[in-house]
Amino acid sequence: MDNTVSGHHFGVWDYVVFAIMLLLSASIGIYSALSGGRQRTAEEFFLGDRKMGIVPVAMSVVVSFISAISVIGTPGEIYMYDTMFAWSLLSYTVGNFIVIRLFIPIFFRLRITSVYEYLEMRFNRTVRTICTIIFSFQTIMYMGIAMYTPALAINAVTGMDLWACVVSTGLVCIFYTTVGGMRAVLWTDTLQAIIILLGVAAVVIKGTIDVGGLGEVFRIGREGGRIKIDRFGADPRVPYSVWSIMIGMLTVNIGTGINQTVIQRLFSCGSRKRATQAIVLATIIKFFTVGLCIFSGVVMYVYYVDCDPYTQGVVMSKDQIMPLMVMDLFGDMPGLPGLFLSAVVSASISTLSSGVNSLAALSGEDGVKVLWPNISPRKYTKVIKLLALVYGLVSIAFAFLASHLGQGVLQLCLSIIGITYGGIIGVFLLGIFMHRCNSKGAIAGLITSVLFVGWIKIGSMMYPSSRGKNSLSVEGCPVPNTTDSMLTNGAEWSETTISAPYTDISSLPEGEPVSNSGIADFYAISFLYYSFVGVVICITVGGIVSKITGFTDPDTIKPELKNNLTDALFCCFPESLKRRMRCGMDKAKDDDDDEVDDVKDMKYFNGVKENVKEINGEEKKKMIESLNDKHPQKFNTTV
């Protein structure tokens, strides 16, 4: 195979395919704005009137966390190192089961819009406000970087104008998210999920054929050390081992159960049963999609096995290798490079639209309604649409800011996400499962967690750990030439590190750690453990501070705010055994009677029940009495 440096650029048909994708996305927003209730209520704008189907919700959950950084970064990571990250597929599956059992019953029981409403019900408004602010800053930073980083890689390899890509995709996303609300976001995410699958699948199929078939991919991949899933060592300094991935990524995936972006989509299903089905479907789709990205990295290694473009100087970052391979594979096939560009941009748009809609919901529920409690429904809807517009523009602005930040500052911004995520997960776990924990303990646990993990991260930047890499070869390059580069526009590239909580692995170090000494060994702990360490610190400190300041009486906490680990995770065990396993804690509330969502045409707006057809007077009276008993703070309604 002649792996020469490609001189292809995007052609007219590539831009046509890209433009069609943007046009279809905008059209979905227009259709959503003109159909149904026309996004006139907050319920419809944020939750699709709680009537969305399982398939679009599942697709949206998947693409919300398969960003463009994953589409081009995951293959690059596998190319440079190995397939240990495949263990994340198992952690994701197990994590989603835990989410279904631990968090979904609580949030659907309360019928809230913002997951952080729970923290006010369980603790107080201060805890809710702190966590809301942290999540908002996390999301804004991530959206901006998720737009900028992949656009920079594509720009460097294909010559496509960097800011034309960022601004055009950003504005289209803001348009359909603001105009069409959750309905537009879900259906556009579905379209974009299909484009992502088609784009990555095209690369895998064509690349596999060109290198001689699946047999050659597995043979060369094994010989080159790229196919590896048996790193069982317990050294916490190894970035990717079975234990670091299963513990760290499992913590991250459990955290999706308290992530506003995910839970808001599940709320749009309307019932706990349908939300559970959506999670199961999303698990299957993401398993296949991430698996395809991982396998594409192996194919990419085999394709360039004798002529590594990174060593040769053709590319400056491993994130650029996938776009380079696309141009080598499809450069003479008009439109196909545009399909891959559409896949990468679709992933960026999905990340942005998910974040914008979620931030608008948080600001509305946790900010606007608090500062303006008597706002009319119509005016409230207009305000939250304006907020969605503002958040979208701020994200684009942060993408511009990211282009001017030095590598260290940019890494620090990204690290803040991983530093704070474990603490937020810990606060929710304290509230749901530690029934004696009080608000002082929750705040102390969160602050201590952030400071401790932040200290580790800063230490790792001061004492960077050296790690080995797998071998790469340029022996098969016909004309080794480090100046003949695909960096067609001379763009500068700063290789960055994407940290948890998101399941992206772009530009993260791998390999066995070189021995350090003293405090440097402590700072060399794998970044995958950050969230887990944060959770442990938060729960430990939260429990101790609650003990010192006076435990909360569990009987004063409403049953709908509590869950029990034994009942949640060991639901199939005999009751006699579960009673002993509870260690004196209350039995979890039975949710069988909580599926009020299944009543035909039941609609809610801002917690006020509307009249429903096909329900007679006596049934309606019983239903209202039941709602008032379960949710007096939200359904204080009379017949």
316-351: pLDDT as tens digits: 777 788 888 888 888 888 888 888 888 888 888 888
The alpha carbon of 117 is separated from its chain's Cα centroid by a whole number of angstroms, namely 21
- By CB neighbour count within 10 A (0-12 exposed, 13-18 middle, 19+ buried), where does 53 fall? middle
- Indicate the pLDDT class of residue 277, thresholds 50, 70 and 90: very high
Do 205 and 330 lie in one domain? The reply is: yes
Question: Considering the chain, what percentage of its residues have pLDDT values greater than 70?
Answer: 77
Q: What's the pLDDT at 411?
A: 56
Do 242 and 212 lie in one domain? The reply is: yes
Q: 42 lies in a domain? A: yes
Q: 277 lies in a domain? A: yes
Asked if 364 contacts 383 with a C-beta cutoff of 8 angstroms, the reply is yes
* pLDDT of 488 above 60: no
Do 103 and 50 lie in one domain? The reply is: yes
Do 97 and 149 lie in one domain? The reply is: yes
pLDDT in tens, 422-473: 999 999 999 998 889 999 999 999 999 999 999 998 888 888 776 556 677 7
Asked if 68 contacts 348 with a C-beta cutoff of 8 angstroms, the reply is yes
Q: 552 lies in a domain? A: no
The count of domains in the chain is 3
Q: 557 lies in a domain? A: no
Q: 477 lies in a domain? A: yes
Do 501 and 605 lie in one domain? The reply is: no
Q: What's the pLDDT at 403?
A: 75
Do 257 and 209 lie in one domain? The reply is: yes
Hey, how many other C-beta atoms are within 10 angstroms of the C-beta on 137? 14
pLDDT in tens, 357-401: 889 988 888 888 888 888 888 888 889 889 999 999 998 888 888
Asked if 149 contacts 319 with a C-beta cutoff of 8 angstroms, the reply is yes
Candidate ranges 152-166, 403-417, 505-519, 520-534; pick with highest mean pLDDT: 520-534
Q: 3 lies in a domain? A: no
Which structure tokens are listed for 409?
A: 């500052």
Do 350 and 468 lie in one domain? The reply is: yes
Which residues span the domain enclosing 447? Answer: 12-507+516-543
Residues 6+ apart with CB under 8 A from 104: 257, 266, 272, 275, 276, 279
CATH of the domain at 461: 1.20.1730.10
- What average pLDDT does range 56-62 have in this prediction? 91
Q: Which of 164, 143, 195, 187 is nearest to 27 (CA)?
A: 187
Q: 323 lies in a domain? A: yes
pLDDT in tens, 568-620: 666 666 666 656 665 555 555 555 444 444 433 344 333 434 444 444 455 55
Do 190 and 167 lie in one domain? The reply is: yes
Do 388 and 479 lie in one domain? The reply is: yes
- By CB neighbour count within 10 A (0-12 exposed, 13-18 middle, 19+ buried), where does 492 fall? exposed
Q: 4 lies in a domain? A: no
Do 495 and 603 lie in one domain? The reply is: no
Residues in the chain: 639
Do 312 and 413 lie in one domain? The reply is: yes
- What average pLDDT does range 304-310 have in this prediction? 87
* pLDDT of 300 above 50: yes
- Indicate the pLDDT class of residue 142, thresholds 50, 70 and 90: confident
Do 395 and 273 lie in one domain? The reply is: yes
Q: What's the pLDDT at 587?
A: 57
- What average pLDDT does range 519-535 have in this prediction? 87
Expressed in percent and rounded to 5, the helix, strand and coil fractions of the chain are 70, 0, 30
Candidate ranges 32-41, 143-152, 285-294; pick with highest mean pLDDT: 285-294
- What average pLDDT does range 533-559 have in this prediction? 93
What's the Cα-to-Cα distance from 636 to each of 109, 349, 558, 561, 595, rounded to whole Å? 16, 40, 17, 18, 18
pLDDT in tens, 165-224: 888 888 888 888 888 888 888 888 898 888 888 888 999 999 999 999 999 999 999 988
